[in-house]
Structures are given as C-alpha cells and as structure tokens.
Amino acid sequence: MKIELKNISKKFGDNYILKDINLTFEEGKIYGLVGRNGSGKTVLLKLLCAFYTPTTGEILFDGKNVIKNKEFPPSTRCLIEKPNFLSDLTGYENLKLLADIQKIIGDNEINDSLKKVGLYEEKDKKYHKYSLGMKQKLGIAQVIMENPNIMILDEPFNGVEEETVNKLRKLLIEEKKKGKIIIIATHIKDDIKELADVVYKFDNGIVTKVDVK
C-alpha cells in the first residue's frame, strides 16, 4: 500500500491552508505530523479521508484517485478531532453499530479492540458517562477493530492516562510491523520520539521533512 500526494493545495476562500504539497506514505511506517494549531495538519488528514477535496493536485491510493470521486479510501479508519459517538449507547454498542455497517468482524474482534485500549471494563457504560480519556480510547478502538491497512489519528492520546499511553504506543508499533500505514498528528514530543519513523512539520501551508532525532 502506498499513498501519494501530488501538488496538493487546499484553500478556504482566499486563504491557502496547504500549498503545493508532495508527500508519500508507505506501508510499515509511522508518520508524525507536527506544527502549531491551524498549521494544516488536520486539513491534510481530512483530505486523506475524502472529507475535503483538494483545491489543486491529486491523492493516489496505490495509484487510484479515490478522493476525486469523494470515495472514502479503501481499508482506512480514522480518528480526527474529538471522537463523537451516540451518547445514550454504551461503548460496546457504539462499536457494534459501526461494525454492522460492513459486517467484516464480530463480537470477538470488538471486545479484543476494547481490551487492547484498556476500555473493556467500561464497555457497558453509557458513552455520555465516559471521561475525555475514555472517549479517546473508544475512538482508537474504532480505528483498530477492523484491522485496516491505513490508520489516521489526530492527537490520539489526548486525556489518556500515561500508563495506557505507553500501552497504546506499543500497540501502534506492533500494527506498524504488520505493514500498516499509520499517520499521527500530535504536539507531544514523546509521541514523535517513541513512534515516528518519519516526521513532517507544518508551517504556514508548507510541509517539510524534519529529523526524527
């Protein structure tokens, strides 16, 4: 699997958020996106998920431009900005509802994902009673449960206790070893140090590769 961004620009009104970006994301690597708030990280993630379309340029998934047709890219799951689930359903029920869309996994995989993120004991609690960290963990469980090839995560560890953060970092490294493409937008230096194979810095619409170390 390979994702190629070719001459991608995105503007809202007269304001360019991204300017002529050329990037390649390859399987078996974790990519870290860094930069101040408003620098374009989340916009890029939304472009990758076809939530936005580029103003110019193209995004290819193994050579296919699915974004042009506003198709959600194949074997991709994402957690962008704040997780948002149905408040009156439990954590488990929310994941079950999503899993029933494609019907490629069952209860075992749902429960396994909840265990991996440390949320299994709270799976029967209503979502509106979840703390910020628990909501984040449910969002990550949603990303991993169907074993996608591409995982897109926007500040995934926000509000999560340190013990679980370390567990989740190890989980993502294991997923990388399976040949996944993992893209993480983060402002946490330890995320970059512990996880990222490649780091891109966003600044005033320009994206540059920076030294991981």
For residue 88, what are the CA distances in angstroms to 44, 81, 92, 93, 149?
Answer: 32, 21, 12, 10, 31
Q: How many CB atoms lie within 10 A of CB 60?
A: 16
**Distance (Å, whole) CA 124 – CA 93:** 8
- Please give the pLDDT value at position 213: 59
Judge whether 39 and 204 are in contact, CB under 8 Å. yes
- Please give the pLDDT value at position 69: 79
- Please give the pLDDT value at position 87: 96
**DSSP class per residue in 65-90:** --GGGTPPPTTEEEE-SS----TTSB
Quick one: which H or E segment has residue 48? helix 41-48
Q: Where are the alpha helices (DSSP H) in 60-188?
A: 91-102, 107-116, 132-144, 162-177
CATH assignment of 2-75+148-210, given 3.40.710.10, 3.40.47.10, 3.40.50.300, 1.20.1090.10?
A: 3.40.50.300
Nearest to 4 by CA among 63, 75, 47, 54: 63
Q: Are strands 76-79 and 29-34 parallel, antiparallel or unpaired?
A: unpaired
Instruction: Please report, in tens digits, the pLDDT of each residue of the chain (213 residues total).
Output: 899 999 999 999 999 999 999 999 999 999 999 998 888 999 999 999 999 999 999 999 999 998 887 788 999 999 998 888 999 999 999 999 999 999 999 999 999 999 999 999 999 999 999 999 999 999 999 999 999 999 999 999 988 998 899 999 999 999 999 999 999 999 888 888 889 999 999 998 899 998 865
- Please give the pLDDT value at position 67: 82
Judge whether 194 and 167 are in contact, CB under 8 Å. no
Specify the residue for token string 């359903």: 89
